[in-house]
Chains A and B, each alone.
Chain A
Amino acid sequence: MKMKKVIALALTGVMAMSMAACGGSGSTAKSESASSASSAASASTSKDAAKDDSKDSGDKLVIWTLTKDLQSFADRYKEKTGKECEVVIVEPGDYPTKIQAAFQSGEAEPDIIVGEPKMLDTYYEAGMLADLDQFGAQDYADKIVDYVWKKGQDADGVQRAISYQITPAGIYYRRDIAKEVFGTDDPEEIGKLYADYDTVLDTAQKLKDKGYRIFASDGEMKVFSDSKEAWVKDGVLQVGQSRMDYMDLCVKLYQGNFTAFADQWTAPWYTAMAGEIPVYEAGTDLWNDDERAKAEKNATETTQVFSYGLPSWGVLTMRDNYKETEGKWGVCKGPSSAFDGGTYIGISENSNRKEAAWDFIKFCTLTEDTMEWWLDVSKGDAVSYIPTLEKHKDDENATYGNEKLYAFWQEQAQNIDLSLVTPYDQAIGDAWANAITSIKTEQSSKEDAISAFYDEIESTYPELTVNR
């Protein structure tokens, strides 16, 4: 009998042990998924993350970010201070859920959280970001472009995040093609070709006649459309004329074969920055590598893409993709002043290393030496640090045909109105994009698509008033 009891106890003990082991592997799995999400991270980072799976990250700051920028900043930080950071790059779609889960669970990591303007209000409301004023952030108030500084404050005016960049938008265009087709590559003159959507269509026709395409995709003017009116104002959904005009433009660009049918952020969209790409058949699933390869084999026409509508951080996208076309690009005004995104850096309220995290934020956003370095490696990203902006105002950027890019960005940044950004932007913008797709592919009529859009917003956000 005694023996049975002993065996029973021993077995229970073994099970309890295996349970504990399960609990332990839970955290491993979590960090694994975090590192797998950072597919865009450099190989060395992934290796670092893998090494750290089983143990605490020690004194290292843990940074969860949306873009590769902070990886570069962290490398530079290590170079300058000797302090190491663990950077995890998370897919934008997963980011809010991941950090909310981490925050809710009370985890002390990540120490550093980032957010785009549309995410920040939610962070403030949830109390996720630490007060930066306790570290004397306000001493730097006059060093950062005003709108950036203000966006980093919650409703009570407490500083909770700072961004290293301003994000005005423009049209990036190929100077060599401009000279050939329009006889000039002067940004002033090329800007006139994008003065309004009708002119954009004329320009598209002229380029097509010469075998070029004005854009890779029909979504290149979205950034300008988004900067005209907010999707939601005082609890009312707003679908003004500018939204309708943008919808019409997309449909015309698509149906008139004015683009290469390479959707934004697909591989061919990037490839087109370096020169020739095939003109894809409309509706090709370019996210599927197999389909893309087959489409490329069957394509009967190749083309070069003339322009992209991107914010100032587009210089980074260009830098990583232009290859042989380096130096052949220019930047001009779009149909209106516009802006998009921007990475704001804050400290998690749960962090145990707030002082160290503040040191990192200061390094990334408020240090002249870092800004000078960033300006150089990014090939001209527009920083928010005023002394650097002023110092380089008259610089000519060799990558962009010796254009005074900094002066241009500063001029465009003057009209940035961040009150146009709302937490609803992502979901409403996606639904609008869906409506545009169903019209341009003739799945439904314009009336039906817009009515379905209104229906969807009404059901998704009952708190909003929808005036049809």
Chain B
Amino acid sequence: MVGLVLVSHSSAIAEGTAELLRHMAGEVEVAAVGGDTDGALGTDPERIKEAIEGLDADEVLVFMDIGSAVLSAETVLDVLEPEHKQKVRLVDAPFVEGAFAAAVLASTGADADECTEAAEEARTELKLYNEE
């Protein structure tokens, strides 16, 4: 089973995205990690690490929003024990749309490759179509 960790500067964004995923994708392991150590806007590597370690999943996809969320997630990979590190990958995709696509596939039992591919495609997926 693929699980997701959502890392945002804002706990409201992380929690809200997790709520959306659970509602739309149903049975999927999602952990939301938002805000810094004091609950202010920012990211908190320690909680990112704990979320990865605590997720009940064989493979873990991490989604990050902006700036230091990416640096924090990358740094956590450096300090994870090998048993956890080998099941984690960071996904380069839009935060909400990418996590949503991955979660829907994860809920169908897709593997991490398939979920990642779907998340990455969310970057170029058009929302508005020009009438030809």
A and B together in one complex:
no
Which A residues lie at the B interface, using CB under 8 A? none
Which B residues lie at the A interface, using CB under 8 A? none
